[in-house]
A and B are shown apart, each in its own frame.
Chain A
């Protein structure tokens, strides 16, 4: 859908070492010989820094090829470059949308939002409260009143807020 921007040579190298670090026993240093190696999600998800992050699994799923969270080096690089500042706004919005779209149906529906809210609130809200929040969120952003957010709705809503996507990137 969008072209993911190419990364610098140096950055790629750094990321590769990081990738290799994640699973030294799986990923050989000479990567070119076996380009299909995947780092299983279990390894990524069990990183100590990530254990409190509610979106770790979802992110891995979105960026992995078949949605199972197992990442190839390409996926890994893509993930970084989408989050880099070179990536166009639309691309970021698209990936953000995909992260929200838990059931991969191309729309953010109430169920997707409930997943998000539950994750964000770490289960501290009751189901009732979560659904109230979701209703409100949907109501705010649902431009065509079909009870779910299309990518277009989502982009409109995101772009309406200033500095929203402009801060949605990382630097190394």
Chain B
């Protein structure tokens, strides 16, 4: 949204620039070229957007340069560097153009630069932390800001009365109050820029930062009220106007918040229905949030508050609704835009300061203002904290108060507001502008530079990045309940009581309404966390495994995709992001692989006893065939949604064993039955769909011949089928996330396969079924004519889909046998049709095996093991491993699980016709 809007950003500037610099480009459209011009220079047509892009580019490059030296950035906050760079650039512009250009325009700032920053901070606000400290935040934001504004304004007026301000500063008490109102607000951009690098503890950060966001309403009201009073002239202000001023405080703040919440609701509701148009999901988030901002701005409500509330309110539902990729897109786009806007703001602030026409210096005013804002901020914080500590669960100690006082940074908001003053009404505007610039520079540079050493020196509790544990989650919930219970028993409706109420309301109504049904699984948070931790561990293991593998020559093209897949399924599960503050933060902040690796190491060290999830991981890790992991993940992830009867649980358990053990355990017939029984329904439907889609020739192909086989395949191996199934039975995000990868690979795979095998007669044998049930359906066994192939494949199959395959095969074979299947004389097309499970139809399927199929189907354990070991030793063939996770490479019919059915069909047709 912003990208599209950015070209507008510099229009005023560019316009000024155009009049100023007569762009001495050759061939400018002034003189009509004779005939057809080979080369035409059209600077004016692209000027505005070009300049915008150029400035952003400069800012980004500057950022890169700053971060080249870690020493500098660890000492000096980026905002300082940017302001200084702005000063230099401003100087250059001034020297070149002889006029200050490219300043921070209030319109640009409020309409384009501020919203992304606020949206970013609102959306990624740790909501639990925020609401836990809401009382303090509101107090500081409302009372604190009012206090600062009035005391600063009054004190400055007193200073003037005392004669310490030069008489050429013509300002009344009202003017000073107006100035006080704009200079008193803590600025979110500056606070964010500085505090992000300081890493004070979460409570402290959220209080200062929350204050800076929420005080916008107060600032806006104060500024507007004072401004209109000044414009009316103090004589004309009546008592009702004061009342109106007070009332407008409520209107502006509550109205802004309401607008934000309405848009948050709309946004959440809209994303509920984007299942088929995933691509616009990120856009929707930005558009509606921006619409909230503009709407609030239009109604002269607090726009910052609106966007903050919008981001805060919608996040839980939006995150649950949109796909994983969209989530990533939203996250990075938001961060990028915010960072970009922040960079540009600070740079332009620096440039704006160069304008000498603005400078109307008065030492008394400047020094007085500096002293007063620091003094009254500190005083205000101390007083308010004293009051708050009477009520707070965790009192704020002295050190916290020092940091809070010192962290009250002023920034671009104040600057933009002071620029907006009307010089005819406020004669001292120039002095105010100069003072504001000094104050902003002082707070950002001096305080920004010193706050880090100060925090270190005072030993302020830093934020600790510890891994969220299941214990933490569990105890947090338990404690909440216990506290709520005790509160209830003693008849006190405190914070816990209300949170309890809210959570129930949310669960009963809001979530039902705003989350798509698949997202709103009544899964519990604890389970989610458990799951997430498991997956995280697993990913870290895979990461490690990845390194080992790459050293042995395996290429890892699919690493990222695998990560994302695992993560997808995990994050899909993270429904209740609302109160999981720390978790959310983690998700945002972590650099994936590094963290994960650390976690993995930790786990290696800490957890001696293997519990199930780990076991699963380990086994996967051992297996060089990494795609296995992926599939298992996938399967196991989605499995958790499907059903919970006892059989299901049993096979879940089975999944957690390592491959070999699984192989062994699978041999027991009991499990076979379980599998077959556990969930035939959804898969059937999905298969049917696929059939209808892909198998054009086969009209009778719908009923799968052999339930058990296909079931197993679906359960254990196939990503696609699972997805399909999920999307059929219920909507899931995964489909579009993964499908692409697989299909692409599958295609290349098929091609490669053709080349490798050389002859088309190497038909995909029946035993390749595992990769995908669809394939299995189409190409079912009855096809293959090669004896050796059958052997290979069967061993492979054993490895992958041991039990169910076995049962299925055995069943089908026995039935075939009993029916005395005819030799394969029938047309190949017929053979490919997914055969009907009915025994009567079976004989029709050409079963053209020259030898008895049974040995291969019988899966002697030794053979199965051989197959497995072979596949393990085959790790040195990376490509095939990568592409065909589920089969050993000896199996020349490479069928990756996602292989497009069409490929199969075509190839197969040819082969059979030959």
- Measured CB to CB, the residues of A under 8 A from B are 15, 18, 21, 44, 47, 49-50, 52-56, 59, 76, 79-80, 83, 85, 96, 99-100, 116-117, 120-122, 124-129, 132-133, 135-137, 139-141, 145, 157-158, 160-164, 166-172
Q: How far is the CB of A62 from chain B (nearest CB, A)?
A: 10
Residues from chain A with a CB closer than 8 A to the CB of B612 are 132, 135
| B527 located at the interface, meaning its Cβ lies under 8 Å from any Cβ of chain A in the complex | yes
Query: Once bound together, how far apart are the Cα atoms of A89 and B489, in whole Å?
Result: 22
Q: 1/0 per position for B483-512, CB-CB distance to A under 8 A?
A: 111111111101011001000100000000
Residues from chain A with a CB closer than 8 A to the CB of B485 are 50, 53, 55-56, 59
Query: Once bound together, how far apart are the Cα atoms of A158 and B472, in whole Å?
Result: 8
Inter-subunit contact B393/A136 (CB<8 Å): no
Residues from chain A with a CB closer than 8 A to the CB of B644 are 126, 128-129
Inter-subunit contact B470/A137 (CB<8 Å): yes
Query: Once bound together, how far apart are the Cα atoms of A143 and B132, in whole Å?
Result: 31
22 contacts between A and B (CB under 8 A): A15-B490, A47-B488, A52-B504, A53-B485, A55-B485, A76-B490, A117-B526, A120-B478, A132-B613, A133-B526, A136-B533, A137-B470, A140-B469, A161-B469, A161-B475, A166-B394, A167-B132, A168-B483, A169-B483, A170-B487, A170-B492, A170-B496
Residue of B nearest to A168 (CB): B479
Inter-subunit contact A167/B481 (CB<8 Å): no
Inter-subunit contact B527/A139 (CB<8 Å): no
Select one of B466, B490, B500 contacting A161, CB under 8 A: B466
| B420 located at the interface, meaning its Cβ lies under 8 Å from any Cβ of chain A in the complex | no
Residue of B nearest to A53 (CB): B485
User: Which interface residue of A79, A125, A169 has the most chain B CB atoms within 10 A?
Assistant: A125
Inter-subunit contact B477/A128 (CB<8 Å): no
Query: Once bound together, how far apart are the Cα atoms of A117 and B527, in whole Å?
Result: 9
Query: Once bound together, how far apart are the Cα atoms of A76 and B488, in whole Å?
Result: 12
Q: How far is the CB of A15 from chain B (nearest CB, A)?
A: 6
| B95 located at the interface, meaning its Cβ lies under 8 Å from any Cβ of chain A in the complex | no
Query: Once bound together, how far apart are the Cα atoms of A57 and B553, in whole Å?
Result: 60
Select one of B486, B489, B526, B640 contacting A120, CB under 8 A: B526
| B758 located at the interface, meaning its Cβ lies under 8 Å from any Cβ of chain A in the complex | no
Residue of B nearest to A116 (CB): B478
Select one of B203, B478, B523 contacting A100, CB under 8 A: B478
| B196 located at the interface, meaning its Cβ lies under 8 Å from any Cβ of chain A in the complex | no
Residues from chain B with a CB closer than 8 A to the CB of A168 are 479, 483
Q: Which among B144-152, B250-258, B603-611, B734-742 touches the partner chain? A: B603-611
Given the interface contacts A47-B489, A139-B611, does A99 sit within 8 Å of B394 by beta carbon? no
Residues from chain B with a CB closer than 8 A to the CB of A18 are 490-491
Residue of B nearest to A169 (CB): B393
Inter-subunit contact B472/A161 (CB<8 Å): yes
Select one of A44, A85, A125, A169 contacting B527, CB under 8 A: A125
Inter-subunit contact B470/A80 (CB<8 Å): no
| B671 located at the interface, meaning its Cβ lies under 8 Å from any Cβ of chain A in the complex | no
User: Which interface residue of B476, B485, B522 has the most chain A CB atoms within 10 A?
Assistant: B485
Size class of B's contact patch? 35 or more
Residue of B nearest to A71 (CB): B489
Query: Once bound together, how far apart are the Cα atoms of A116 and B476, in whole Å?
Result: 12
Inter-subunit contact A170/B486 (CB<8 Å): yes
Residues from chain A with a CB closer than 8 A to the CB of B497 are 49
Query: Once bound together, how far apart are the Cα atoms of A58 and B843, in whole Å?
Result: 65
Residues from chain B with a CB closer than 8 A to the CB of A117 are 474, 526
| B66 located at the interface, meaning its Cβ lies under 8 Å from any Cβ of chain A in the complex | no
| B242 located at the interface, meaning its Cβ lies under 8 Å from any Cβ of chain A in the complex | no
Residue of A nearest to B392 (CB): A171
Inter-subunit contact B609/A99 (CB<8 Å): no
Q: How far is the CB of A79 from chain B (nearest CB, A)?
A: 6
Q: How far is the CB of A116 from chain B (nearest CB, A)?
A: 6
Given the interface contacts A53-B485, A55-B481, A172-B492, does A96 sit within 8 Å of B475 by beta carbon? yes
Residues from chain B with a CB closer than 8 A to the CB of A139 are 607, 609, 611
Q: How far is the CB of B201 from chain A (nearest CB, A)?
A: 8
Inter-subunit contact A170/B494 (CB<8 Å): yes
Main secondary structure of the interface of A (DSSP, over half): helix
Inter-subunit contact A80/B504 (CB<8 Å): no
Inter-subunit contact A99/B393 (CB<8 Å): no
| B649 located at the interface, meaning its Cβ lies under 8 Å from any Cβ of chain A in the complex | yes
Residues from chain A with a CB closer than 8 A to the CB of B482 are 55, 59, 83, 96, 99
Inter-subunit contact B471/A120 (CB<8 Å): no
Residue of B nearest to A167 (CB): B393
Residue of B nearest to A125 (CB): B527
Query: Once bound together, how far apart are the Cα atoms of A168 and B471, in whole Å?
Result: 15
- Measured CB to CB, the residues of B under 8 A from A are 132, 201, 203, 391, 393-394, 461, 464, 466, 469-472, 474-479, 481-492, 494, 496-497, 500, 504, 522-524, 526-527, 530, 533-534, 607-609, 611-613, 640, 644, 649, 652-653
Inter-subunit contact A53/B488 (CB<8 Å): yes
Query: Once bound together, how far apart are the Cα atoms of A163 and B497, in whole Å?
Result: 20
Residues from chain B with a CB closer than 8 A to the CB of A160 are 466
Residues from chain A with a CB closer than 8 A to the CB of B533 are 136
Residues from chain B with a CB closer than 8 A to the CB of A52 are 500, 504
- Beyond A15-B490, A52-B500, 19 additional contacts (C-beta under 8 Å) are A50-B485, A53-B488, A55-B478, A55-B482, A59-B485, A79-B490, A117-B474, A133-B474, A136-B613, A139-B609, A140-B607, A145-B608, A161-B466, A161-B471, A162-B201, A162-B464, A164-B479, A167-B479, A171-B393
Query: Once bound together, how far apart are the Cα atoms of A59 and B483, in whole Å?
Result: 10
Select one of A79, A100, A145 contacting B486, CB under 8 A: A79
Q: How far is the CB of A16 from chain B (nearest CB, A)?
A: 11
User: Which interface residue of A83, A127, A157 has the most chain B CB atoms within 10 A?
Assistant: A83
Query: Once bound together, how far apart are the Cα atoms of A141 and B469, in whole Å?
Result: 9
Inter-subunit contact A157/B471 (CB<8 Å): yes
Residues from chain A with a CB closer than 8 A to the CB of B609 are 139, 145
Inter-subunit contact A83/B527 (CB<8 Å): no
Inter-subunit contact A116/B479 (CB<8 Å): no
Residue of A nearest to B472 (CB): A161
Query: Once bound together, how far apart are the Cα atoms of A168 and B486, in whole Å?
Result: 11
Given the interface contacts A85-B393, A133-B530, A163-B394, does A79 sit within 8 Å of B489 by beta carbon? yes
Query: Once bound together, how far apart are the Cα atoms of A122 and B484, in whole Å?
Result: 16
Given the interface contacts A21-B491, A125-B524, A133-B526, does A80 sit within 8 Å of B486 by beta carbon? yes
Residues from chain B with a CB closer than 8 A to the CB of A76 are 489-490
Query: Once bound together, how far apart are the Cα atoms of A49 and B490, in whole Å?
Result: 11
Residue of A nearest to B485 (CB): A53
Inter-subunit contact B470/A120 (CB<8 Å): no
Residues from chain B with a CB closer than 8 A to the CB of A80 are 486, 490
Residues from chain A with a CB closer than 8 A to the CB of B496 are 170
Inter-subunit contact A163/B203 (CB<8 Å): yes
Select one of B461, B494, B653 contacting A171, CB under 8 A: B494
Q: How far is the CB of A45 from chain B (nearest CB, A)?
A: 10
Q: How far is the CB of B49 from chain A (nearest CB, A)?
A: 48
Q: How far is the CB of B573 from chain A (nearest CB, A)?
A: 12
Residues from chain A with a CB closer than 8 A to the CB of B479 are 96, 164, 167-168
Query: Once bound together, how far apart are the Cα atoms of A170 and B393, in whole Å?
Result: 7
Residues from chain A with a CB closer than 8 A to the CB of B522 are 124
Q: How far is the CB of A131 from chain B (nearest CB, A)?
A: 9
Residues from chain B with a CB closer than 8 A to the CB of A116 are 474, 478
Select one of A15, A99, A120, A124 contacting B477, CB under 8 A: A120
Inter-subunit contact A124/B524 (CB<8 Å): yes
Inter-subunit contact B391/A171 (CB<8 Å): yes
Q: How far is the CB of B152 from chain A (nearest CB, A)?
A: 34
Select one of B394, B608, B649 contacting A126, CB under 8 A: B649
Query: Once bound together, how far apart are the Cα atoms of A166 and B396, in whole Å?
Result: 12
Given the interface contacts A53-B481, A54-B481, A163-B203, does A83 sit within 8 Å of B486 by beta carbon? yes
Residues from chain B with a CB closer than 8 A to the CB of A161 are 466, 469, 471-472, 475
Query: Once bound together, how far apart are the Cα atoms of A50 and B487, in whole Å?
Result: 10
Query: Once bound together, how far apart are the Cα atoms of A79 and B487, in whole Å?
Result: 10
Given the interface contacts A55-B482, A99-B482, does A129 sit within 8 Å of B527 by beta carbon? yes
Residues from chain A with a CB closer than 8 A to the CB of B488 are 47, 49-50, 53
